[in-house]
Each structure stands twice: as C-alpha cells, then as structure tokens.
Amino acid sequence: MNLTYRCKHLELGNGLTIKEPLIPVTLKGSNGIRLNVTAVLDSGSDFVLLPLEIADALELKYNVNDKDTAKLYTGTTITTTQSSVRIQLSKGHENMEIECDCAIFLEKEKQHEHIIFGSSFFDHFRIHFDYPHNRFSIKQ
Amino acid sequence: MNASVEKNFNYFLDLSFKGYKEGEWIAIFDRKVVSHGNDLKAVLASAQKIAPISKLLISKVKKSASYL
C-alpha cells in the first residue's frame, strides 16, 4: 500500500517559499471519538506529539502526574506525558491504521505547531521524500 | 477518512492563511474555514453547528518557519 501526498507550500513573506510534509489523518480516541486533523512528518522528533487539547477532545487516557521532560531544538524544556492513539491514514480506496505511542504536550500556552508525527510513527512505515517533485509517499 | 475530508485537505494545501493568526486552530468544511480561534473546544463547537465532526478537517495556522 502506497499513499502519495503533495507538499504544502508556505510563503514566508520575503520571497521565500518552504515545503512542508503534512498529511491528513483520522485520530481515534476513546468511546468512538474521531478527529480528522493534519499532522507534520518530522523524523527528528522522537514521538508522535499531540497537543493537550487534541488528547482531551479524543478523551485519551493519560496520567497528568506521570510527567516526562523533553527538549526542543532551542534547548527549552517542555513537559509531556505518555499515551497511545489509533491513527488512520486513507486516500481514495487505500486505508491503513496503526496504534502508536504518543507524547501529550501538557503546556497549552506554548503550543503553536501542528501535530507532530515523529519516530514512533515512522516505525510503522517506509517514507520517501521527493521534494524536487513536490511530493512524498508513505508505504506500509 | 471520507472524500469530503480529502477535498478539504486539498483546499488546506492551497490555503494562504491570510486573515488568520499564527497558532490558531481552524476547522475546514466544504472548502471553507468555518470556524477558527485559539480554543479548540470552542472551534469544534462552532464548526459542529455547520457540519458533523466526521466531515471537518482540523488544523493549525502556521506562517513562519520552524525548527522542531
């Protein structure tokens, strides 16, 4: 199974345009709750990272007292906790679903990024980036 | 994921985010941003008055480069 996506172009306002590997996915939580969201592929991140608001909307189970610390690129420390989430990818008639470990980002006021799909997502797939042709593909 | 969400994702790929603030949540339905704001709960509640949650695509506004 092979899902191919085109990159999102983001104009930075100074004549520069960057490309982002964003995908649409359905996250499945407790009690049949589903949310269709976009997520950015980031092989440099160690986990799937979900904002607290998304985890709560999905009613994911987590222990707010069982905290971990993680570091951003700048060295800034953030607080997370562990959980897991079911992720469905589909396009046309193609469909893939996985259960994935995730970290929940507990500090709402610092959240300005997309949902991040890091190493714990990459573990399930072979991912090929073809930025010169403005596309990337995910194979299981 | 249904066909309407795929269409909404294609709309999202071409969306410039003009008129929206960085970091805001946005809810897309029928190739339109139907709700936006900083509080996801409020964005979902507002959007669900227009469409069922299964047909919404939720994303965030990003306007600057990032180094994750």
A54/B contact by beta carbon, under 8 A: yes
Is B36 in a helix, a strand, or coil? Answer: strand
Option in A13, A34, A38 nearest B57 (CB): A38
Scored b (16 or more CB within 10 A) or e, A79-93 reads ebbebebebebbbee
Among the partner-chain residues A12, A72, A116, the one whose CB lies closest to the CB of B64 is: A12
The domain segmentation of chain A, as residue ranges, is 23-125
**Beta carbons of B23 and A112 less than 8 Å apart:** yes
Question: Is A138 a residue whose pLDDT tops 90?
Answer: yes
Report yes or no: A76 at the B interface, CB cutoff 8 Å.
no
Task: Say yes or no to pLDDT of A48 above 80.
Answer: yes
Mean pLDDT over residues B33-42, rounded? 95
For residue range A7-26, list pLDDT tens digits in order.
Answer: 999 888 778 889 999 999 99
Give the span between the Cα atoms of A28 and A58, in whole angstroms.
Answer: 7
Task: Yes or no: say if A46 and A69 are a contact pair by the CB < 8 Å rule.
Answer: no
Question: Domain A23-125 belongs to what topology?
Answer: Cathepsin D, subunit A; domain 1 (2.40.70)
pLDDT tens-place string over residues A122-134: 999 999 999 999 9
Contact B40 A57 (CB under 8 A): yes
**Contact state of A34 with B54 under an 8 Å Cβ cutoff:** yes
Contacts of A91 (CB under 8 A, 6+ apart): A3, A4, A5, B1, B6
pTM: 0.92
Tell me how close the Cα of B15 comes to any Cα of chain A, in angstroms.
9
Domain residue spans of chain B: 3-60
Q: Does A28 touch chain B (CB under 8 A)?
A: no
Q: What number is the ipTM of this complex?
A: 0.94
Average pLDDT value for chain B? 90
pLDDT of residue A109 exceeding 80, the answer is no
